[in-house]
């Protein structure tokens, strides 16, 4: 049995969160991994007793810059949010090797053998298309008032694409959050009323993607 895996940092430990849906094959699990707009760490393999046997991670670096995703080969993970990174991108983060991560988790961790798709498979779905665009562009464009207005106008028509906001905000480093915090607060104030209200409620659950985004947008008691 295969399930999607998320990791959370707790001091020098990694906490494992397991998605409830199970898949009969690793291929099916990875298909869902790339299709869902929610960010996961990798795919876990479980034995007949439900014990985690090993974890495979995205084989492609998830760091994003002005030219888009890096797409180098995964070699390390950052210790803030456990994003898979190549060696070059990992040099800019507090990162550990996959072998070190395996020691923390007590199970083997290795890159998936299947290559990640070159581009998200949107299949003409406007919700997914907008979600991916927000996630991809947020870090470099959130300080642009015109970009914020455009995104908020689109979210008014396609509110489910807010998942892209969770992904984009969640992918920011702590330093980026500090640098961009005024713009993030402005974005929060410009969001459609329904989304703004939902995020305020989500701030009470900071370990969820929505809760983390809410805090980083200045909608909770503190910024993380």
- Please report, for the chain, the start and end positions of each structural domain, with discontinuous segments joined by +: 2-111, 126-216
Tokens for 189, please give them: 């104030």
- Give pLDDT, residue 1: 93
- Give pLDDT, residue 180: 96
Tokens for 191, please give them: 């969001």
pTM of the model: 0.51
Question: Can you tell me the distance from the alpha carbon of 199 to that of 187, in angstroms, rounded to the nearest whole number?
Answer: 12
Give the three-class secondary structure for 202.
Answer: helix
Percent of the chain with pLDDT over 90: 43
Mean pLDDT taken over the chain: 84
- Give pLDDT, residue 33: 85
Give the three-class secondary structure for 77.
Answer: strand
DSSP class of 177: H
174 touches 80 (CB < 8 A): yes
Q: Which stretches of the chain are assigned E, i.e. beta strand? A: 2-10, 13-23, 42-46, 52-57, 64-65, 68-69, 76-78, 84-85, 95-97, 109-111
36 touches 20 (CB < 8 A): no
**Over 50: is that where the pLDDT of 67 sits?**
no
- Give pLDDT, residue 93: 74
Q: What is the mean pLDDT of residues 170-182?
A: 93
Helix, strand, coil percentages in the chain from 3-state DSSP, rounded to 5: 45, 20, 35
* pLDDT tens for each residue of 132-164: 889 889 999 999 999 999 999 999 998 878 888
Closest alpha carbon to 29 in 58, 1, 2: 2
Q: What is the mean pLDDT of residues 11-34?
A: 86
**Over 60: is that where the pLDDT of 52 sits?**
yes
Burial (CB < 10 A; 0-12, 13-18, 19+), residue 106, is: exposed
Closest alpha carbon to 38 in 172, 128, 143: 128
**Over 90: is that where the pLDDT of 113 sits?**
no
Q: What is the mean pLDDT of residues 167-182?
A: 93
Please write down the long-range contacts of 8-15, taking CB distance under 8 Å and 24 or more positions apart. Answer: 8/82, 8/207, 9/79, 9/80, 9/81, 9/82, 12/104, 13/104, 14/82, 14/101, 14/104, 14/105
- Give pLDDT, residue 38: 65
Tokens for 193, please give them: 């009323």
**Would you place residue 13 in the very low, low, confident or very high pLDDT band (cuts 50, 70, 90)?**
confident
- Give pLDDT, residue 182: 96
13 forms beta bridges with: 10
Q: In what order do the strands lie in the sheet with 52-57?
A: 13-23, 2-10, 42-46, 52-57, 109-111
Closest alpha carbon to 79 in 27, 30, 145, 11: 11
């Amino acid at each position: 049995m295969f399930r999607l895996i998320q990791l959370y940092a707790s001091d020098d430990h990694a906490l494992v969160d397991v998605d409830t849906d199970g898949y009969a094959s690793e291929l099916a699990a990875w298909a869902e991994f790339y299709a869902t707009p929610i960010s996961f760490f990798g795919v876990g393999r479980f034995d007949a007793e439900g014990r985690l046997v090993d974890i495979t991670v995205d084989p492609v670096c998830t760091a994003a810059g002005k030219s888009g995703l890096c797409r180098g080969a995964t070699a390390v993970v950052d210790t803030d949010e456990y994003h898979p990174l190549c060696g070059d991108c990992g040099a800019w983060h507090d990162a550990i090797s996959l072998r070190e991560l395996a020691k923390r988790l007590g199970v083997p961790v290795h890159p998936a053998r299947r290559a990640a798709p070159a581009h998200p498979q949107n299949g003409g779905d406007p919700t997914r298309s907008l979600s991916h665009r927000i996630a991809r562009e947020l870090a470099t464009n959130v300080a642009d008032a015109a970009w914020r207005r455009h995104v908020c106008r689109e979210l008014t028509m396609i509110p489910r694409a807010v998942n892209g906001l969770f992904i984009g905000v969640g992918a920011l480093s702590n330093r980026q959050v500090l640098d961009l915090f005024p713009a993030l607060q402005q974005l929060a104030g410009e969001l459609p009323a329904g989304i703004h209200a939902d995020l305020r409620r989500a701030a009470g659950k900071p370990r969820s993607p929505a809760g983390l985004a809410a805090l980083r947008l200045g909608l909770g008691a503190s910024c993380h």
